[in-house]
Structure 1
Amino acid sequence: MIHNNQDALDWIHSRLQVGIKPGLLRMEWLMERMDHPERRLKTVHIGGTNGKGSTVTYMRSILQAAGYETGTFTSPYIEQFNERISINGKPIADEEITQLVNVIKPLAEELEQTELGGPSEFEVITAMALYYFAYVHPVDLVLFEVGLGGRLDSTNVIHPLLSIITTIGMDHMQFLGNTPEEIAFEKAGIIKNGVAIISGVKQREAKEVIFKRANEMQSTVYQMGEQFQSSWQQSLSTGEAFHFQSVFANMEHLHTGLNGLHQTDNAAIAIMATLYLKTFHSFLIEESHIREGVEAAYWPGRMEQVCHRPVILLDGAHNPEGMTALVNSLKIRYPQRRITALFAGLKDKKLDEMVSLLHQAADSVICTTFDFPRAAGYEEFEPLLNEQTMWRADWDEYIKEFQGSAEGDQLFVVTGSLYFISEVKRLFTKFY
C-alpha cells in the first residue's frame, strides 16, 4: 500500500527501468483485469510527430468554452507530473495519484509474473488515466495524446469518436522507421474501423499511406489543404491572426492564444475536430465557443514568454521539424532583434541539423546539457562548436548573466528537449 504522493511517483518512475515496450498485449491484459475502463469513455485520439499538445490544448479550450468537462492525457509534463492527467486544464490532485497507484501497482506486480512481463512507465500512466476517467472522475470527453507512434502505443486500446494525425516528421526513427512512409504507417495505426480521421500531414508520400489505411478501415479522411485549411494573416502581440475555411464552416479573423505561425495549423485541426463532433456526435459547439477557446488556449513551453525585459522565450523544439517551425516564427515575429539561443537536446536527436537551423534565426547558439539520462553532453556537441556555436554547462548561470547584461534589442530563446524546457520553466517559476 502506497501512503503518500512522493512514494507513488517514485514507484511510477521506477518503471522507467523497464524501458520502452511497444505492443498492446500488456495493456489488453490490464484492461481485462480493470473491467475495461476504455470502453466506458468518449474519447478523441491525437497522434503525430509535432503539434499534438497544442492541438489538444485548443480542443480542450474550445470544449471548455462550450461548457463540456474535458479530460486530457498528455506527455511529457512541463511543471509537475500531475499535468499528464488533467480536467479542464487542471492537473489531478496528489491524493488521486496515490489512489490510482494503489489500484495499478498490484496489477503491475501480477503482470510481472506472466510471460508478458511488467508494464512500462507509460503503460502504467495510461492505465491510470483510463481508470481515472472511467471510475474516479467521469467527464464528457477525454482527449488522449499518443505517446510514441500510434499502432503499438499503449493509448491505442481506446476506440475513439474521432482520430487525429497532426504531422509526420523524422523523429523516434529507431522505433518508427527511417522514411516518412514508414513513420506514417505507424501513426496511421490509430485509425479505427469506421472512425473518421483528421489529418494535418503535408508530405505526399505520408498522406498516401494514411489515405490507404483509412480506405482499408472504411474511415473518412478530412485532410488539411483539401477539406479544411488555415490562412495566416499576421502576428499579434500575443498569438497569431488567421482565417479558417472548411466543408463545415468558414471563420475569419480568429486569434490564437499561442505564438508561432505553425499554431494556426494546430488551431485549424482542433477547430475541424470540434466541428466534426458538433456535426456527427451532437456536441453543442457554436462559433463563439470556437473563437473564445482558440484565443484562450495556453500551453507552456510553446514560444512561451517568461520574461519581458529582456524578452526570454521557451520553446520545446526537440526535432528538426519543430526547430524549422520555431525559426520561421522568430524570423517573422522578431525580424529586427539580436537573438541568442540556448539549446539542449537528447543524444538520439539530429543535433547538428537543429543547431544549423537555429543559426538561420539566431546570431549565436549556446549549447548546454541538463540532468537527464539521455541528455546530450559536451562530447556530442563538441564537433559543432565554433565562434557562433559555444558551450556552457552551467545554463542557469548563463541565463542570469544574459539577464544582467542584455540590451534593448536582444532576445533570448531557450529551446530543445521538452525535458530541458521543464527544468528551465521550474527555474523561472521559482526565482522570477
Structure 2
Amino acid sequence: MNGTSEEGADKAESACFQTYGEAVDWINSQVPLLGIRQGLGRMERLMELLGHPERRLRFIHVAGTNGKGSTCAFLTEALLRNGYDVGTFTSPYITKFTNRLQYNGRDISEEDLLRLANRVKPLADELAATELGAPTMFELVTTIAVLYFASVVFPDYVVWEAGLGGRRDCTNIVTPVLSIITNIGHDHMEILGDTVAKIAEEKAGIVKPGVPLVSAVEQEDALEVIRGVCREKKSTLYLLNRDYRYAAEETEAGKQRMTFEGPFRRYPALPVSLNGPHQFKNAAVAMMALEVLRQYQAVQLEEEPLYAAFGHTRWPGRLERVSDRPPLLLDGAHNPEGGAALAEALRESFRYRKLHLMLGMIASKDHDGFLRQVLPLADTVVFTEPDYHKKLQAAALAEKADRILRELDLAPKVSVHSDWKTALDALLAECEEGDLAVVSGTLYLISDVRSWVLHRSESEKGW
C-alpha cells in the first residue's frame, strides 16, 4: 500500500513544476485578489493531509507590530552560536524568495523548494475543489516551511515569525514551546482593528495553554488584554519593566551596548549589533526568551557565545549601512512606531551635517503618522514609489507630506520621482562631505535599492 502511494505521489510531483522559477511563480500567483483571507481552516486541512509534520517540531512563535524580524535574528544567532541547529521562517524577503526560509542561517536550496512545492501542489488542488478554497500564497509558503523543517533538515528549534496579526494568521497552526509578542502598534488596522486593544487581542491569539509568553508591550489597554489571555490559558507572562529590563550603556551606531537584567541572570555591557536605540528592546526580548528556554527547555547557553551572538547579529534593511561614500542607510520603517524608532536613531546614534531622505510607501499605511516623525529631521526629501502593484504614487505621498511640512513650518528641499532609480540618483547627488543619506518606507522599496546598491541586480522581493 505504502509503495503504491509513494509511486503515485512521485508521478504527481513529476507532473507539476520542472524548475524553481515555475514553483515560485505558482506560489506567488496565489495572492488573494480580494484581500487577505485569514483563518486556519485550509492550514488545518493541509497539515492533516501531510500527517501533521508541525507536531514534530519545537517552535518559538514571534508576533508583534514592529521588531519581529530583528528579534528572530537575535534568537537565531544566539541559538546557533550555542551549538543548536535552527530553522528560521520570516517575511517579507529582501532579495530572493528563499531568504524567508533558512536553516542555520542559509537559505533553502532551490532544489528543495522545487521538490516541496511539487509535493504540496496536488494537495492545494484538492483543497481548491472543496468549500475551503485554494490555499493562499502565504499558506503555501508556510506549509512548505513546515515540510522543510520537519522532513528535510530537522532543526532543534524553529524561530517562527507570524505574518499578520496572530490569532487568524496561518503560522498559528503550531503549538510552540515559547511565544513572543514584541509590541503593539498601529499597522494593518483595516484588518486587525482600529485600537491597540483590538490589535492586542489578535496578536495574543498566538498564546497557547501552558506555553510561556515573553512580551515588551507597554500600553496599558493592550496589556490588559494580554494579561487576561495569559490568565485564561494559564501561560506565564514575562513582561518588560516588570520581570526583565534593560539599560542602554552606549548608543552610537556600531558600538551599542546595554545591560540586561532578568529574573535569573544579569548581563552587563551586552553588545547590540543592530543599529538604533529601539534595538535594545528587541535584544532584551530575545535575551528574555533565551532565559525562558534555558529554564523550561534546558537549553544550554554559555556567556561567551551569547555575547558574540548579540554583537554579530545581522538583519538586512533595518538601519543597514550599505555604502560609505556617501554614507547610505536603508531602513524599512513604514508605520508611526517605525518612524518614531527611525527618528530616535537618527537623533541619538548617527552624526551628520545634513540629512537627505528618500521615501516610498504602499497605499495601505498610516503615512501621516510616519511622516510627522521623520520630516522634521530632513534637509532634503526625495519622494518616490516602490515597484509594486499596491504602491502609493510618489506625487500623492509628496502631497501628503506638503500639508504636514506647511503645518510644521518646515522647508526642506523637495523633489518627486516616480522611478526609484532616478530618485536614488537624485538623493545621492545631494550628499556632500559629512552628510547622511537614508532610504526608508516600504520594504518593497528597500529590497530594490539594496539589491541595486550592493549587487547592481534586481531583487525578487515580496511576501
Normalising by structure 1, report the TM-score.
0.97
Aligned to 2:30: 15
Task: Specify every segment of 5 or more residues in structure 2 that has no aligned partner in the other structure, as ranges.
Answer: 1-15, 403-410, 458-463
Deviation of the 1:401 alpha carbon:
4.0
Aligned to 1:212: 228
TM-superposed deviation, 1:400: 2.8
Alignment match, 1:293: 309
Amino acid in the other structure paired with 2:29: S
Match of 1:74 in 2: 90
Structure 2 residue 118 is matched with structure 1 residue 93: no
Aligned to 1:3: 18
| RMSD over aligned Cα atoms | 1.4
Distance 1:179 1:337 in 2: 39
Counterpart CA distance in 2 for 1:144 and 1:382 is: 37
Moved more, 357-366 or 272-281: 357-366
Please give the per-residue CA displacement for 1:363-389, whole angstroms capped at 9, x wherever unaligned. 232211121111100453253354534
Q: Secondary structure at the match of 1:426?
A: helix
Residue range with higher mean Cα deviation, 278-287 or 177-186: 278-287
Amino acid at match of 1:397: T
Distance in 2 between residues matched to 1:405 and 1:190, nearest whole Å = 46
Q: Is the contact between residue 215 and residue 285 of structure 2 (CA under 8 Å) also seen in structure 1?
A: yes
Counterpart for residue 411 of structure 1: 436
Return the alpha-carbon distance in structure 2 between the equivalents of residues 119 and 394 of structure 1: 34
Where structure 1 has 5 or more consecutive residues not aligned to the other structure, the ranges are none
Write the letter of the residue equivalent to 2:448.
E
What pairs up with 1:258-407 in 2 under 5 angstroms?
Answer: 258-378=274-394, 380-386=396-402, 387-388=411-412, 389-404=414-429, 406-407=431-432
How far residue 396 of structure 1 moved from its aligned partner, in angstroms, is 1.3
Choose which of 220, 232, 243 in structure 1 pairs with 2:248. Answer: 232
Change (3 A) 1:271 1:151: same
Q: Tell me what 2:407 maps to.
A: none
SS in 2 for 1:366: strand
1:100 deviates by: 1.1
> How far apart are 1:403 and its partner, in Å?
3.3
Which letter maps to 1:6? G
Moved more, 179-188 or 82-91: 82-91
Q: CA deviation at 1:395?
A: 2.5
Q: Please list the CA deviations of residues 136-169 of structure 1 after superposition, one character each: whole Å capped at 9, or x if unmatched.
A: 1111100110000000000101000000000100
Tell me how far 1:336 sits from its aligned partner. 4.3
CA distance in structure 1 between the aligned counterparts of 2:68 and 2:162, rounded to whole angstroms: 8
Shift of 1:402: 3.9
Rounded Cα–Cα distance in structure 2 between residues aligned with 1:412 and 1:332: 16
Return the alpha-carbon distance in structure 2 between the equivalents of residues 362 and 243 of structure 1: 32
Q: Secondary structure at the residue paired with 1:321?
A: helix
In the alignment, is residue 171 of structure 1 matched against residue 187 of structure 2? yes
User: Which residue identity does 2:83 align to in structure 1?
Assistant: G
> Offset of 1:94 from its aligned partner?
0.7
Alignment match of 1:29 (pick from 40, 45, 57): 45
1:180 aligns with 2:196: yes
What is the CA distance between 1:431 and its match in structure 2?
A: 3.1
What is the aligned counterpart of 1:420 among 437, 445, 448? 445
CA distance in 1, matches of 2:372, 2:351: 18
- Say whether residues 1:192 and 2:211 are aligned partners: no
Indicate the residue corresponding to 2:3 in structure 1. none
- The reply to whether residue 162 of structure 1 matches residue 178 of structure 2 is yes
Secondary structure at 2:190's aligned position in 1? Answer: helix
Q: Secondary structure at the match of 1:285?
A: coil
SS in 2 for 1:130: helix
Where in structure 2 are the equivalents of 1:62-141 lying within 5 Å? 62-141=78-157
Structure 1 residues 249 and 282: alpha-carbon distance in aligned structure 2, compared to 1, 3 A threshold: same
1:144-159 aligned at under 5 Å gives the runs 144-159=160-175
Matching residue's letter, 1:351: H
Distance 1:21 1:107, change over 3 A: same
Name the CA distance, whole Å, in 2 between partners of 1:364 and 1:237.
22
Distance 1:257 1:239 in 2: 7
Q: Is the CA contact 2:358–2:423 (under 8 Å) kept in the aligned structure 1?
A: no
- State how far apart, in whole Å, the 2-side matches of 1:307 and 1:7 are: 34
Deviation at 1:237, TM superposition (A): 4.5
Q: Distance in 2 between matches of 1:152 and 1:309?
A: 45
After superposition, what is the alpha-carbon deviation per residue over 1:285-332, rounded to whole angstroms, capped at 9, x for unaligned?
122222111111000001000011111000000111011001000001
| Cα separation, 1, equivalents of 2:401 and 2:231 | 49
- Equivalenced residues, count: 432
**2:7 alignment partner in structure 1:** none
Cα distance between partner residues in 1 of 2:264 and 2:416: 51
Question: Quick one: distance in 2 between partners of 1:419 and 1:237?
Answer: 25
Once residues 351 and 253 of structure 2 are traced to their aligned partners in structure 1, the CA distance between those partners, rounded to angstroms, is: 14
CA shift, 1:420, in A, is 1.1
Distance of 1:228 and 1:110 partners within structure 2: 48
Q: CA deviation at 1:335?
A: 4.7
Contact preservation (8 Å) 1:239, 1:260 = no
> Which moved further from structure 2: 390-399 or 414-423?
390-399
CA distance in 1 between counterparts of 2:134 and 2:304 reads 47
Give me the whole-angstrom Cα distance separating, in 2, the residues matched to 1:13 and 1:35.
25
Aligned to 2:460: none
Taking the aligned partners of 2:244 and 2:201, their CA distance within structure 1 comes to 23
